[in-house]
Amino acid sequence: MIRHTVVFRLKHEKGSEAERLFLANAQRLASIPGVGGFEQLRQVSPKNDYDFGFSMEFADEAAYAGYNDHPDHVAFVRDHWVPEVAAFLEIDYVPLAPVENGS
């Protein structure tokens, strides 16, 4: 399992209609084949200056690549992500087996 996350801040005013529409459009990413566990999140820690996050899970690298290359993802990045996002950081995780024998 690969968990793909991105934490970001929009150019739009907080609580604006433009913000709402961005999030509504992003909801379509959940329907791209291979995407599981899609979440839209609000970032609430005062220790960074991002406002939102998306999280999704892929079974493997092939599913992740299929998402990246999917026309709906490519169109979303071109039409919404690039023009509307002010700053972002992508973080991808895979599970780590529990480490034993702490001291």
Residue numbers at the binding site for its own copies (CB under 8 A): 2-4, 7, 20-21, 23-28, 39-45, 47-48, 50, 52-53, 55, 89-96, 98-103
CB of 25 to its own copies, least distance (A): 4
- Of the pair 3, 66, the CB lying nearest its own copies is at 3
- Count Cα atoms within 13 angstroms, Cβ side, for 48: 14
Q: Which is nearer to its own copies, 33 or 101 (CB)?
A: 101
